[in-house]
Amino acid sequence: MSIALDVKNLSKYYISGSKRLAVLEDINFTLEKEDTCAIIGPSGSGKTTLMGLCAGLDTPSSGEVFLQGLQLSKLTEDERAQVRNRYVGFVFQNFQLIPTLNALENVMVPAELQAMPSPSKLAKELLETVGLQDRLTHYPVQLSGGEQQRVALARAFINKPSILFADEPTGNLDDETSHQIESLLFDLNKQAGTTLVIVTHDLELAQKTQHIMRIKGGQLQDRIPRDSNDSDKASFISDLA
Amino acid sequence: MNLVQSFVWSLKMAWRDSRTYRRKLLFFTLAIVLGTAALVAINSLKENLTQSVLRESKSLLGADLLIESSEPFQPEAEQILDSLKQAEEKYAEEVSFSSMVLSPISGKTRLAQVRALEGDFPFYGEMETEPAMAKSKLSEGRFALVDEGLLVYFNTKIGDSLKVGKLSFLIAGKLKEIPGEAALQTFVGPRVYIPKSQLANTGLIQRGSRTKHKVFLKLNNPEETQAIVSSLEPQFDLSLTRFITPEDRQQSLGKAIENLYRFLNLTGFIALLLGSIGIASAVNVYVKQKLDTIATIRCLGTKSWQTLVIYLTQAMAMGVIGTLAGALLGIGVQFLLPALLSDLLPINVDIYLSPLSILQAVAISLGITLNFALLPLISVRRISPLRALRTNFEENAHMENDPLRWLIYGLIALGICTFSVFQINSPGLDWWYGLIFPGAVGVALGLLALITLGFILGLKRYFPNSASYVWRQGLSNLFRPNNQTVVLILTIGLGTFFITTLYFTQDSILKQVNVADKNGQPNLILYDIQPDQKQGVENLLAENGLGVMQSVPIVTMRFAKVKDMDVRALRKDSTNNNAYFWEYRTTYRDTLTATEKILRGKLHQGMKGNEAMVEVSLATLLADQLNLKLGDTLTFDVQGLLLAAKVTSIRQLNFSRIQPNFSILFPTGVLEEAPQFYAMVTRTKDSKESALIQKSLIEAFPNVSSIDLELILQTLDGVLSKITLVIRFMAGFSIITGFIVLAGAILTSRYQRIRESVLLRSLGAVRSQVMQIMVIEYFFLGIISAVIGVGLSLLSSWALTEFIFNSPFVINVLPVFVSILLVVSLTIGIGLLISRGAHNRSPLEILRLEAT
């Protein structure tokens, strides 16, 4: 199996006055292609910062992130944008749809940026897959939360990403909608063979991934390896709970 | 995706992303519409004026050559002129002077500009009269052509009589237009044409009378004009005689047009600057509202330059639409301006579209607007995609250090300075004079910004915590994020500053003259009193119960040499100051009057006859004009006799009182034997008494002229009103732009206001409370802008009246309060109009509507 994400000695500090505030400290892990992984931990533990660094949205204070073998720290912000466009998909807690674009246009953006042929056709197919074939010309404000997240899922997969980062993908949804979105996320992920990284508080969602990493105080506390069985994961989760 | 594809996608995205904001964006474009319109209109008008001057160059003078002398031509000169008259195609002669004229019907008198004309002048262009053929009557006998304004003043009509000196003339027609002369002239001295053959019989030409003698020629070969002038010049006394060709008139009018254009263009430019500040402010808020979208598309792989292209395209579209709309409006205004300026212009302007002028103005407008819009836009390059994950992410920490930002600041400053230096560029003026305008605007803007920031800081520090809730909420809205309080106060304040400066200055000058009517000061001045008439005039005044408050001898003279420079030689260079060539009316005394003050040197103390040089005192205005200092030597030509003198003092004069003022003051013991006449000042009880005494004077002493306070007030008011009408029209562009920016800013924060209002109402606030909060906020925006704007304008009006018009500044309290009240009312009115609906609709309905 090839390595999709390799994180080495990753740290992130912020300077606040004369103090150095460590948000992440010496994080190391590797994810192989098609791995699914959940990053869990309490609020302020550094989960989102870790995800931002892994996705090339931010630069580390020290350490390295290799995404699809590319050393992100060696790239400029615009080069990282290109990497994101080519290899990365995003799903956000608050959906982050562009309010001035309709559902179809929102989904098309990454494909258009990559100059993929027939972005509109691809987007329509994906929206059909997520069950929104009748909502193509609706604007985000005209869609429910669940529908918006489904548009976001379609957008995340249109560029056929190697790795998908999902930040609390069900955090703003009710239970029933959450379950629908989770199913869609894992189904689409499986079909596309994408590596999946989910940042979540939802332990039930985390349990559906192969790896679970727990972050606390900016440090990687525990980790359930990929080959753990469901009962190991359940006991890891119940310990946390 | 290659570069072209990336660019095309960015343009497509710019179009898509502007959805739902397009109406708002269009509204913001209004901010630059007026500024652009002003520039387009003025640029086009200048082009039209220049072309009209070129086209009408001959009718500006009415002849191919004008030979003008401030004294009757000497016999030798007359001989040369006679041979010219015979040799060339046509000639006309005119003697002009100021004199009182009387309407026997109404009994009113008025100082007028009498022109005794002989010949078929003008040879080019038409003297427009009513009835049309009235001019031909001048050759038939005692007929007069009279300015329309004078007929109205006298309440007389065509066919009535008019007394000029000892003669009565029948009014044959009214003057509508004279080629090459502005209608404004009638305010200063209404024109009366009489036949030259009747001049001697009027008895008005006496020794010392200030007359102008003109010979107009239509040449056989107009192309040889310059050669004829060159051959004539050596034969005439050039200290008295001028040769004026259509090209000279065209040149001097060109200069006047250039000055008018510069001034109007600067006022238009101010409106554009205000609008651009408004645009920058609107774009700033717009970008802040778009932060999440920008972060999201950055996450999805958009490069930083692409995000800049997306929002720059939107700003450019705003700029282009605003500028084009401005250009269209400007073309409309271009057709209005000549009507506004008609009384100031000596020619009829043909209005037509000038693509180059329009293009020039559009380019300036677009350039300035885009630079201002770029200031907030460049920050989109540095918006972190991380914001999509953390909505509270702060990325502005390093924005101020962005070198591109400083580059744009530099470009804006350079653009404004270049524009201004280009505008002021004139031979004889150093280039840095052009920096005075941006400097002054910068100081005004800086002061406004400083005072506003000071107020906001003070408000935060000494916040009235014990005030009622609505007051606290209304006041704290002033420092709400994105509220643009400073920009609003800058634009409205600056607009108020310009408009009220003009008003207060005009008002102060008029009020100062009015004040002169009080405290027993003189209000009637009589001049051109010959020595043999002095006693008679004193007696006439005494018979009417009036005392002579001041009787001043006047001696006329010219400069022969100024600091060893021969004035005749100076005449050859047309760029030399005309003050070298004027005829001066001087007096002699060893004391100062109440309105004079010595600024430098010491006032002379009578000459005893043994001094090497006569000591003279100069008025500051003359000393400044001719760059004369203490100790400089002057040689005067006192009616043929040369008199050497030395400047020993410089005086400041106050022109606000009705009394004769003198640029040149001699000591006693020098001019007593020189030919002289007198001026007297007296005080009449009221305008009726003034009119009666003037009527008696003109009947007894037709050559004596008089001018009273009421006439000065009327003249000043007439001239100032005409000039300030144009200035106010242009300044109006600035203030309307200010209110558009205000409306735009309120529109920008409308959603925020509505949400606040909804929240307040959900928490139990009633509609009237929400309304009161808004009124309080707008009230403070208005009152701060108005008070600072009016305060600064009082300062600038004071400086203008004190230093430019040499008159003490008088504040009229009522207009100050009315201006403030007007600005506050307009601010509240516009604020409530734009926010309408925010306080009285259902919270849910509004949230849904705004969200879409």
Q: Are B706 and B525 in contact (CB under 8 A)?
A: yes
The domain limits of chain A are 3-240
A115 φ, ψ (degrees, to nearest 5)? 55, 40
Q: Which of B294, B300, B395, B751 to mutate to test the interface with A (most CBs of A within 10 A)?
A: B300
Q: Taking CB atoms and an 8 Å limit, are A51 and B384 in contact across chains?
A: no
* Complex prediction ipTM: 0.87
Q: Is the dihedral of CA B625, B631, B633, B637 positive or negative?
A: positive
Size of interface A-B (CB pairs under 8 A): 89
- Separation of alpha carbons B226 and B228, rounded Å: 5
Chain B residues with beta carbon closer than 8 angstroms to that of A112: 9, 12
The domain limits of chain B are 1-59+255-436, 60-252, 463-519+709-852, 550-682
User: 3-state class of B664 per DSSP?
Assistant: strand
Q: Taking CB atoms and an 8 Å limit, are A94 and B303 in contact across chains?
A: no
Of A48, A100, A109, the CB nearest to B300: A109
- At the fourth CATH level, the homologous superfamily of domain A3-240 is P-loop containing nucleotide triphosphate hydrolases (3.40.50.300)
Chain A residues with beta carbon closer than 8 angstroms to that of B299: 55, 57, 84, 90, 96
Quote the percentage of chain B above a pLDDT of 70. Answer: 90
Interval B557-586: pLDDT, tens:
989 999 988 888 887 776 777 788 888 889
Is B292 an 8 Å CB contact of chain A?
Answer: yes
Q: How many CB atoms lie within 10 A of CB B283?
A: 24
Looking at the complex, report in whole angstroms how far the Cα of residue B293 sits from the nearest Cα belonging to chain A: 6
The pLDDT mean for chain B works out to 82
Is B390 an 8 Å CB contact of chain A?
Answer: yes
- Separation of first and last alpha carbons in chain A: 33
Looking at the complex, report in whole angstroms how far the Cα of residue A1 sits from the nearest Cα belonging to chain B: 27
Range 297-326 of B in CB contact (< 8 A) with A: 297-305
Average pLDDT rounded to a whole number, residues A109-123:
90
- Matching residue, tokens 């305010």: B187
- Order the strands of the A3-16 sheet from edge to edge: A19-32, A3-16, A62-67, A70-71
pLDDT at res. B397: 47
pLDDT at res. B852: 40
DSSP line for B707-746: EEHHHHHHHHHHHHHHHHHHHHHHHHHHHHHHHHHHHHHH
Q: Taking CB atoms and an 8 Å limit, are B304 and A81 in contact across chains?
A: yes
- Separation of alpha carbons B87 and B501, rounded Å: 56
User: 3-state class of B236 per DSSP?
Assistant: coil
- Which residues are CB-contacts of B393 (< 8 A; sequence separation ≥ 6)? B295, B384, B386, B387
Of A85, A100, A159, the CB nearest to B17: A100
Bridge partner residues of A164 (DSSP): A89, A196
Interval B402-458: pLDDT, tens:
788 888 888 888 888 888 777 666 555 567 767 777 787 788 888 888 888 888 888
pLDDT at res. B438: 78
DSSP line for B170-215: EEEEEEEE-TT--TTHHHHS-EEEEEGGGHHHHT---TT--EEEEE
Q: Are B441 and B266 in contact (CB under 8 A)?
A: no
Looking at the complex, report in whole angstroms how far the Cα of residue B321 sits from the nearest Cα belonging to chain A: 21
Of B12, B301, B852, the CB nearest to A84: B301
Looking at the complex, report in whole angstroms how far the Cα of residue A19 sits from the nearest Cα belonging to chain B: 18
User: 3-state class of B317 per DSSP?
Assistant: helix
Chain A residues with beta carbon closer than 8 angstroms to that of B2: 115
- Separation of alpha carbons B649 and B636, rounded Å: 17
Chain A residues with beta carbon closer than 8 angstroms to that of B301: 81-82, 84-86, 110, 113-114, 159
Is B20 an 8 Å CB contact of chain A?
Answer: yes
Q: Taking CB atoms and an 8 Å limit, are B16 and A101 in contact across chains?
A: yes
Of B1, B19, B390, the CB nearest to A100: B19
pLDDT at res. B144: 94
Chain A residues with beta carbon closer than 8 angstroms to that of B388: 57, 90, 92, 96
Chain B residues with beta carbon closer than 8 angstroms to that of A169: none
pLDDT at res. B137: 86
Interval B150-180: pLDDT, tens:
888 888 989 999 999 889 999 999 888 887 7
User: 3-state class of B598 per DSSP?
Assistant: strand
Q: Taking CB atoms and an 8 Å limit, are B391 and A94 in contact across chains?
A: yes
Interval A157-167: pLDDT, tens:
998 999 999 99
pLDDT at res. B850: 45
- Separation of alpha carbons B236 and B73, rounded Å: 9
Q: Which residues of chain B have pLDDT under 50?
A: 397, 847-852
User: 3-state class of B5 per DSSP?
Assistant: helix
